[in-house]
A and B are shown apart, each in its own frame.
Chain A
């Protein structure tokens, strides 16, 4: 009987592929939210597997804060071309220029919160009824309650207290005009699962995930990359460190860790012994204990 056991990684893969196929079958106009980070790259890889030998039947949507790591953008452009999928870019800069969103002020200003405006506008403009994201329940405590198929009302808002129950493997993606779903095929994956999967599938990633030398400043207990988009205070010193990033987001808020892990094997070992969550270095989550939940209710990723 034990022949008929899947390893946990294979079972998670099978589950994610099942979810992606359900999205294709149940929705008219789905898209993949593609940030160029490892989780969305995993989703893309799984989508490739789910529909093989067809191409991925969803366009990619990138919400561009304008404050990107150049490495992420290069990776994104090459990857999209290789897969032959359509790329739709929602520009936060444009939302600001149009007056739909207002830029934060001050030293720790960032564009994290206002991404939601651009995201929701892009969804509305293209009429997407399902947006597939790479969020995982282990990332953050508000995410721990997300459904695989997570309903959003006509304002794009999440109502955590009134979610549809999900039983067995039957998913209900029915919605009214103007509403949409966020779908999370990696719900049951942990950071470690994602890295193990990347290693076992040999999935290509942006170079930022691997240890490299970079100019950084020390701020809020993390190494923040020096870029044109951050203001450096008088008492802040620019130093060069060997770091790597555990998550990739907006360059102004994504801190790196000192590390020598420059191969996937070394990263897996590092993740296995990590004592901090990967979001521990995200300025956006540190603002208050419920900042993720508050943003998610508004319609954030």
Chain B
């Protein structure tokens, strides 16, 4: 019993790591995810039975682990993954959320979506093909979206005789290319997803490889500093006013800490209004807390009665975001309908919104080469470009490089209500 108690507690100590996977079709992404799930014993018998049956129906000799991750009917019929699907597995150290995104060129938007919340990107490279355009494309997206960690998995090592030379060459090629990017932490692992080499278990076929397996890497990457704990930003979602006898004057500003560390007594300013006050208390259902940091959800009470509502941000008085009405952003266009010249959209940024107009498309980015094309400004789904936007009111924003939450935005088409673009403030 003492032991079991310990198990329960250790589960409560686990951290959460979100990662995204990218690779070209047939690089073995589904097989790799299936392998991770299978070897970490996250697959249930009934799921495995289903996959075994499907494999049989398809006339396959072995159980195709890739089928574990095929989500929807259409995809199963076409044999491709068409949208972002989420998978979960856990080891005693960490819980993992996989955003499984397809590798087709036309689905940049899916990778951008998966990457937006990821701590880590797994990039698959086929050992026989080496670094190809798709690899560069995915790396550029990982860099634009500022995914803190990248793991390049050189797959199908079994098809190149587990050759160290092949692996080293791919590593060199990648490093040469990645020096132009802003990925801070890149690692390389030679694997065979099909046979399980270096995925969960160490490979006996590649004694020359001295690094860790993929799972060990995922379990141990340091994610503690992935959040910004310096610039205090608290976007207000809503105001809690119980208006009952017990809490007659209670007025709590509800939100999730975007970044920084807040403490009772801190001198704060509400932007955009500019009123200053002090934090009276930071409340949760379980009581007041001594400090709150990203990504906690709390309610903040201020000492003074000032007018605060959704869309406002509580920040430290000595470290305020810049009000900006002319915004430069890297935009990933998500909708098949491209932007019309000087078109107006609704811009959403943290909990604030403002109307916005596209003033200028500065250039389109070739995401295979990083080339900036200033002539071609014809934007459609899956294009990435730099835009100048003008909003009807100032946004309180940081650059995306400093802050993934207060530096990101989306554009919504007011006629269709669709989310048409995602932006990272420069």
Contact = CB atoms under 8 A, between A and B. Distances in A.
Interface of A: 1-2, 4-15, 17-18, 21-22, 24-25, 48-55, 137-138, 141-142, 144-145, 160-161, 163-170, 172, 174-176, 187-188, 190, 192-193, 196, 199-200, 265, 268-269, 272, 274-277, 280, 289-290, 293-294
A14 B297 contact: yes
A145 B84 contact: yes
Interface in B1-24: 4-5, 7-8, 11-16
Contact of B418 (A142, A164, A199): A164
Given A5-B15, A50-B254, A188-B86, A280 B242 contact: no
B308 interface: no
Contacts of B293: 4
B105 interface: no
A33 B311 CA distance: 28
A280 B48 CA distance: 12
Given A25-B351, A138-B88, A145-B84, A169 B405 contact: yes
A168 B400 CA distance: 12
B410 A22 contact: no
B334 A165 contact: yes
Given A21-B254, A199-B8, 17 more contacts: A4-B229, A6-B15, A8-B95, A18-B297, A24-B238, A25-B238, A52-B284, A137-B86, A142-B72, A144-B85, A144-B87, A167-B112, A169-B405, A170-B350, A265-B5, A276-B44, A277-B47
Contacts of A199: 8
A1 B241 contact: no
B348 interface: yes
B54 interface: yes
Contacts of B14: 7-9
B116 A272 contact: no
Nearest to B242: A54
Contacts of B219: none
Contacts, number: 198
Nearest to B117: A168
A176 B417 contact: yes
5 contacts: A53-B246, A54-B240, A142-B73, A165-B419, A290-B73
Contact of B237 (A15, A21, A160): A21
Contact of B116 (A141, A167, A176): A167
Given A51-B240, A145-B71, A289-B54, A170 B410 contact: yes
The 6 closest A-B pairs by CB, nearest first: A8-B16, A49-B285, A17-B297, A174-B417, A280-B46, A167-B116
Interface string B410-424: 101000011100100
Nearest to A45: B285
B74 interface: yes
A294 to B, nearest CB: 8
A144 B86 contact: yes
Contacts of A14: 256, 295-297
A53 B7 contact: no
Given A14-B297, A144-B87, A167-B408, A269 B4 contact: yes
Contact of A25 (B45, B86, B297, B310): B310
A161 B76 CA distance: 13
A53 B250 CA distance: 8
A54 B283 CA distance: 13
A293 B83 contact: no
Contacts of B46: 276-277, 280
Given A17-B297, A175-B417, A277-B47, A170 B237 contact: no
B255 interface: yes
Nearest to A192: B90
Nearest to A201: B286
Contacts of B116: 167-168
A11 B295 contact: yes
Given A138-B88, A165-B419, A21 B238 contact: yes
A17 B223 CA distance: 22
B89 to A, nearest CB: 8
B377 interface: no
Given A21-B297, A169-B256, A280-B46, A161 B83 contact: yes
Given A8-B16, A145-B85, A170-B410, A1 B242 contact: no
